[in-house]
Structure 1
C-alpha cells in the first residue's frame, strides 16, 4: 500500500534533478559560473546542495511509499533489491567508458557499449517478478566485482563508489530503520552518527600522521578509501573518493532527517502546522550547522556533520515553502516542468550520464584544424552554441540549458504516456 503522492515533494525532486543536469553538462568545464561548480574544499555552493537534497527527498518519500510500516521477508527483499539495483546502475556509469568488445574501436565500439547499456538498463529498471529482479541485480554486481578485481587491464582502475551507489546504501539503511524503529530511535541514531563522525574525524589521525587534519589527501576518510578502495577510486585523484566509504556514514543521517520530516508530514497535524513546524526545524538545523561550522567545517566531499545539518536545514526550508504554496495554498501554476522531471528521476540519472560519455567517444577531424580530432560533444558546443555568445560562461550555461530542454521534451512525452522508470 502506498500513500497518495505529495506534489510538492515531486516538484522538489524535479528541481533537484534539473539542477543536477545543468551542473553536470556545461558546454566547457573551463568556463562555468562559480555557483554551478562544487566548492574547492570547505564551503557550500548551490551545486553542493544537489546530492544531499536528493538523499533528503528520498528519506521523505520512504514514509509515503510504506505508510503502514509492514515488515516481512517480502518487504525486506523489495528494499534490498531496489537498493542493489541503484548501486548497480551507479557502478555501470564507471564501467561504460572502459568496456572492450572483441577489439572494436571507434563508432562500432560505441554502438556495442550502447547496446550493453540498453541491456543493463532493462535488467535493472525492467518490471519483472521479485525473484528475477533480485537474481539480475546480484548477478550484475558479481560481474562488476569480478571484472574490477580480475586483473584485466581495462578494468584495473574502474571506480566503484559514486552517487547512485551512496543513494542505494542510504535508502537500504533508512528504510529498515523506518520499518523497525520508532521516530525517537531514528533521531538518536542520526545524532549518534553525526557526533560519532565528528569525533572520529577530529580525534583519530590517519596512520602516518601525528595529528588529525581535514585536508584533501591526509584526513582519515581519505586513508580509509586508500586502503579499502585502492585502484578503484575517483580517477581525478586516485587517492580519495568524494563518495568514499567513511563519508557515506554521515550521509545516512541526511536520509534519516528526511525520513523524520516525511513522518511529520504523514502525522496527525494540520497541513499549516506541518509547514510551520518544518520552518522552525529548518531554522534550528541551519543555525546549529553554522555554529558547528566553526570547529567542523561545512564540506561536501567529507560530508561533515555541519554539512549534513546545513543542507538538511535548507532542504527542509525549501520543502516547507513548496508544501505551503502547492499543497496548502493550492498554487500549482508553473510547476508542470518540475513535475515531469520529479516523477521520472531514475531514467535521467542513468541516461544523462551515459549520453555525454558516448558523444565524447565519437571523434572526427576538426573543421577549423583538420589535423586535429574533435569529439561530437565538443563539436556541438564549439560550432552550435559558442559562436553566438561573447561571454564563454554564458555560452557554457546555454549549452547545458539546451540539453535540459531536450530532456524536458522527452520527459513530457513519458509523462503524457504515463511511462515511469523505476528500480
Structure 2
C-alpha cells in the first residue's frame, strides 16, 4: 500500500486554515461579525467548527499517510517524536512573550526572543537523524517543563494546554490506535470515549461545588484543570481551559471519526459508493449530535460528546462534497488557492501565533501625541492606517483579518512555488 493523497482533503485543510486565520486575527475584537466569533457558551458557530475539523483531518491524514500498519520501534519513535514536537511548538507560543533575560528591554528583548524562536524552529522543524530529532524534541520539552514548574517567576503562569498541544495528544492516541486495531475496534473505542465523558460530566459531583453541571468554571472539567494545572491555564479564565485535560478525552473521539473516514476513503469501494457512505455517515453524525444536544449541550469549550458528533458530521459533509466534486467528477481547476494553504498547516499554526506577538512588540510613537506612550506596530497599522478607510468598524476589523490572510497567502505561495513543505 502506497501513501494516498486526496486533493479534496488538502482543499478542506486549506479552507480550515483560511477560516482559522480570519477568525483569530480581527482588527478589533470588539467589532466582529457574529459567525466569526465563538458561541458565548452552549451552541456552535462556524468559528467553533475550525478546531474540530482540523482534528478530524488529523485522523484522516494518519490513515492516508501510513502505507503499512506496523507498530515497531521505528514507527513508535516517529510518532512520539512528532507528538513532542507539536506539543512543544504549542507551548512555545505561550512562552514567547514571557521570555526575559539579561535585563533586556524593547527591541533588544524582542530580538533575543526571535533568536530563541529560530533555535526552536531549527530544533523542531528540521529533517535530520531520527534519533537526534527525538532527543532534541525531548530536550526542548524538558526545559519548558522545568521553566514552568521549577519556581521561575517569569514562567509560573505560562499556559500549558493549547490548540497544538491538544492536536499532539490526539495525534499520538489515534496513530497508535490505528496501527494496533481495526476500524471496528476504533469505532467501539470512540463510542466508549464519548459515553464515558458524558457519564463523567453528568454523574460525578464536582468537588467544592456540588451537583454535576455544564456551567463555566464550575463543571468537573474545570475543577480538574484547576486542580492539576493551577496557574497554568487560559489567561482569560485563569481557573479552567478550553483545551483542558478532561475535555481532551472526547477530542480523541474527533480524531477517531477522522480515522474511520480515512479507512473508508482507502477502501476498495467505488468512488461513488465511498461518497454515498460518507454522506450517510455525515448526516448521521449531525442528527445524533443534535439529538444528544438536548441533554448534553453542544459546547466547544467543554468539547461535549454531542459537539464531537455534530462537528465531525459537518466536517464529513464538507469533505464528501469536495470529494465528489474534485475526485469523482474531476472538477479540480479551482483548487490551487486552497491547496496552497493546505500543504503547510503547521507553519501557519506556529508563525501565525508568533507574527502578531512580534508586531505588538515593535513600538512606534503615538501619532500627534508625543506624551502618549508608544503603541505596537499592529495597533498602529490598524487604528491609523486601515481603520480610517472604513465607515463601519466591523468592516474595518474584517479588512484587517483579510489583509493578514493575504500576507499569509504570499508567504505560502512562495513556499509552494519552491516546493517547500515543512513538517514536524
TM-score after normalising by structure 2: 0.98
Q: 1:281: which partner in 2?
A: 281
Distance 1:205 1:381 in 2: 47
- What is aligned with 2:324? 324
Aligned to 1:362: 362
Aligned to 2:127: 127
| Aligned partners of 1:52 and 1:312 also within 8 Å | yes
Which residue number corresponds to residue 421 of structure 2? 420
**1:89/1:350 contact within 8 Å kept:** yes
Residues 220-235 of structure 1 aligned to structure 2 (within 5 Å)? 220-235=220-235
Partner of residue 5, structure 1:
5
Q: CA–CA distance in 1 between the matches of 2:5 and 2:129?
A: 24
> What is the correspondence of 1:313-392 to structure 2 with a 5 Å cutoff?
313-372=313-372, 373-392=374-393
Indicate whether 1:96 and 2:96 are aligned.
yes
Any stretches of 5+ residues in structure 1 without a counterpart? none
Q: 1:3 to 1:343 in 2, by over 3 A?
A: same
**Is 1:112 paired with 2:112?**
yes
Q: Gapped runs of 5+ residues in structure 2? A: none
SS, match of residue 330 in structure 1: coil
Q: CA-to-partner distance for each residue in 1:259-315, whole Å, 9 max, x for gaps?
A: 000000000110111111111111111000110000000000000000000000000
Q: Give distance in 2, aligned partners of 1:370 and 1:396.
A: 26
Report if aligned partners of 1:254, 1:312 keep a CA contact under 8 Å in 2: yes
In the alignment, the residues of structure 2 paired with residue 110 and residue 2 of structure 1 have an alpha-carbon distance, to the nearest angstrom, of 45
Deviation at 1:365, TM superposition (A): 2.2
CA RMSD after TM alignment: 0.9
Asked if 2 retains the 8 angstrom alpha-carbon contact of 1:84 and 1:138, the reply is yes
Query: Shift in Å at residue 370 of structure 1?
Result: 2.6
Q: Residue 165 of structure 2 aligns with which residue? A: 165
Aligned residue in 2 for 1:31: 31
Mapped to 1, the partners of 2:369 and 2:8 lie a distance apart of 50
Counterpart check, 1:51 vs 2:51: yes
Using the TM superposition, give the Cα deviation of residue 406 of structure 1 relative to its aligned residue in structure 2, in angstroms: 1.1
- The answer on whether the counterparts of 2:390 and 2:396 sit within 8 Å (CA) in structure 1 is yes
Q: Deviations over 1:91-119 (max 9, x none)?
A: 00000000012110001111110111011
CA contact (8 A) 2:340 2:416 kept: yes
Distance in 2, Cα, partners of 1:199 & 1:26: 38
| Contact 1:14-1:340 within 8 A present in 2 as well | yes
Separation in 2, partners of 1:2, 1:141: 33
Look up the match of 2:396.
Answer: 395
Equivalent residue number for residue 199 of structure 2: 199
Supply the distance in 1 between the matched residues of 2:368 and 2:62 (Cα, whole angstroms): 53
8 A contact 1:190–1:253 mirrored in 2? yes
Answering whether residue 106 of structure 2 is matched by residue 70 of structure 1, we say no
- Deviation, 1:191, is 0.3
Q: How does 1:139-288 map to 2 (within 5 A)?
A: 139-288=139-288
State whether residues 365 and 371 of structure 1, in contact with CA within 8 Å, keep that contact through their aligned partners in structure 2: no
C-alpha separation in 1, matches of 2:210 and 2:100: 45
Match of 2:408 in 1: 407
SS at structure 2 position matched to 1:244: coil
C-alpha separation in 1, matches of 2:213 and 2:178: 35
Distance (Å, rounded) in 2 between the aligned partners of 1:363 and 1:184: 56
User: Could you tell me how far 1:2 is from its partner in structure 2?
Assistant: 4.5
How far off is 1:210 after superposition?
A: 2.5
Tell me the distance in 1 between the aligned counterparts of 2:410 and 2:45: 29
- Residue pairs, 1:290-301, within 5 angstroms: 290-301=290-301
SS in 1 for 2:98: coil
Partner SS, residue 97 of structure 1: helix
Runs of 4+ in 1 over 4 A off after TM superposition: none
Distance 2:321 2:67 in 1: 23
TM-aligned CA deviation for residue 358 of structure 1: 1.1
